[in-house]
Chain A
Amino acid sequence: MKQNPHITPEGYFSDLKSRLHSIPDVQEMPTTWQKIRPHLALAAAFLAIVTAGTAILRNTAGNPALSTPDSLSQYELAQLVRTSSPYLYDEETYDDEVSEPTEEELINYLISTGITIENLEADENDD
């Protein structure tokens, strides 16, 4: 089973050897410059990307015209940008102190939540 089932053309190996012996005649050994050239090219490309990226960031990051759109007021910006805390953008509209609800607001709240007067009285008695 370990016998080699493959064969080669007659005289193949002497022909192969003569072809292989001629490799150094046609294949010049790479010079040091040829060996390091691809690495230098890669390093130069990396440097160019870093330089271009730094230049772009420097020209754009510190420019207020690009970082804050002056054509939009803060209120307009708040309308455009979805946020869970709208008063982050419009502090004047929302006072820090919560105003007392009116009687009508309380009635509407009780109707909508289904709490009866009896429930409220029972809670007060518990307290």
Chain B
Amino acid sequence: MSEKEIQALIKDGDLRKAFDAIVDVYSERLYWHVRRFTLSHEDADDLVQDIYIKIWNALPGFRGDSQLFTWIWKIATNAALNFVAKAKVRSALSLSSYSAEADRIIDSDPWFDGDEAQRKLSKALSRLPSKQRTVFCLRYYDELSYEEISEITGTSVGALKASYHFAAERLKEYLKA
């Protein structure tokens, strides 16, 4: 089902059908988007369910002012960033660092099937500031345009380009080391 068809269902008040279509169309892609932030499969699974509950609750308020896709990604990205912020606080409370905790998750993840370079890239990504990490993931992995990322993050295209540039530079430095 296309985005326009789902939007028409929402407009007609057929929310259940629209929600089912959103699950069918976006759930797999949304899972991968979230997994890049949570790192572990179990946390991504929990978070995707939380995000869909949020989507279901917010669906009556969707007015169609923005694309459905960017609306969903905005909810998902905010939830993922909240997850990372909480993880950072938990690490700080246990007198550890978030990057050390992220390394531990990546190294012990049974659902990681990459080579050493990909493992290093995952670790490097977890070390980026939240904003740079978000922009890099949305641009590089989700292949969104800067305009779409701007709509999701509420940041200007110019600032996003700068963030992406700094993120790429930091990743290069980390991978060289």
What residues make up the interface of A, taking CB atoms closer than 8 Å to B? 1-9, 13, 16-17, 19-21, 23-24, 27, 29-30
Contact = CB atoms under 8 A, between A and B. Distances in A.
B32 A17 contact: no
B117 interface: yes
B48 interface: yes
Interface string B15-59: 110011001100110011001000001000100110011001101
Interface residues of B, number: 34
A13 B56 CA distance: 19
B117 A1 contact: yes
B28 A6 contact: no
B114 A3 contact: yes
Interface of B: 15-16, 19-20, 23-24, 27-28, 31-32, 35, 41, 45, 48-49, 52-53, 56-57, 59-60, 109, 111-115, 117-119, 121-122, 140-141
Given A3-B118, A4-B32, A5-B119, A20 B113 contact: no
Contact of A24 (B56, B113, B121, B141): B56
Contact of B49 (A9, A13, A19): A19
Contact of A20 (B23, B114, B118, B121): B23
A24 B112 contact: no
Q: Dominant SS at the A interface?
A: loop
B48 A6 contact: no
A23 B60 CA distance: 15
A21 B118 CA distance: 33
A4 B27 CA distance: 17
B23 A7 contact: no
B138 to A, nearest CB: 14
In order of increasing CB-CB distance, the 4 nearest A-B pairs are A5-B114, A5-B118, A20-B23, A7-B113
A27 B53 contact: yes
Given A2-B140, A7-B113, A17 B23 contact: yes
Contact of B111 (A7, A23, A27): A7
Given A5-B113, A6-B41, A29-B15, A13 B53 contact: no
A24 B22 CA distance: 13
A17 B27 contact: yes
Given A3-B118, A8-B41, A13-B31, A20 B111 contact: no
Nearest to B32: A4
B15 A16 contact: no
A121 to B, nearest CB: 79
Given A20-B23, A20-B27, A23-B52, A5 B112 contact: yes
